[in-house]
């Protein structure tokens, strides 16, 4: 049974708010971006920074062991980060509040999508991300 879009969307914004709080709690500034998906210009879900280090993040939730993102979404994130001079990351919240991060430099492309697997050795914890 598929989850209605409105519920999925809500789950996503709850996770985004969770990430924002995690960043502030460790002394970073972080914000959710307005209208990602609805604006005519691409925007990531989250931007966070500290002392000149800037990260832009697409935030996803998954009830499975893998999360697929479209190549288009990933390429737009890469382009946005490239202009900004920021790091591009994907964050996935898997089951049991298992929040992981993967750098766009380390994701695996298939022909049409990018997959983030819960057991990928290149995944970062939040602590790793902010201390990198």
Binding site for a copy of itself (CB under 8 A): 20-21, 24, 27-36, 39, 41, 43-44, 47, 49-54, 80, 83-86
Q: How far is the CB of 66 from a copy of itself (least distance, A)?
A: 28
Output 35 or 121, the one with its CB closest to a copy of itself. 35
Q: How far is the CB of 23 from a copy of itself (least distance, A)?
A: 9
Output 53 or 65, the one with its CB closest to a copy of itself. 53
Q: How far is the CB of 95 from a copy of itself (least distance, A)?
A: 26
Contact yes or no for 49/28 (Cβ under 8 A): yes
Q: Is 36 a catalytic residue?
A: yes
Contact yes or no for 81/88 (Cβ under 8 A): yes
Please tell me the distance from the alpha carbon of residue 112 to that of residue 121, in angstroms, as a whole number: 22
Cβ atoms within 10 Å, residue 42: 15
DSSP output for 51-92: TTEEEEEEEEE-SSSEEEEEHHHHHHHHHHHHHHT-EEEEEE
Residue of 2, 36, 103, 125 marked active site: 36
Active site residues: 36
């Amino acid at each position: 049974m598929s989850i209605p879009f409105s519920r999925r969307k809500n789950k996503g914004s709850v996770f985004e708010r969770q990430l924002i709080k995690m960043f502030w709690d460790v002394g970073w500034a972080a914000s959710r971006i307005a209208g990602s998906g609805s604006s005519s210009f691409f925007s990531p879900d989250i931007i966070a920074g500290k002392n000149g280090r800037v990260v832009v993040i697409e935030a996803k939730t998954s009830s499975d062991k893998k999360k697929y993102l479209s190549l288009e979404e990933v390429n737009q994130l890469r382009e946005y980060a490239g202009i900004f001079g920021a790091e591009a990351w994907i964050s996935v919240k898997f089951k049991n509040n298992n929040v992981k991060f993967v750098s766009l430099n380390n994701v695996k492309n298939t022909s049409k999508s990018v997959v983030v697997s819960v057991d990928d050795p290149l995944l970062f914890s939040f602590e790793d991300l902010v201390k990198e």
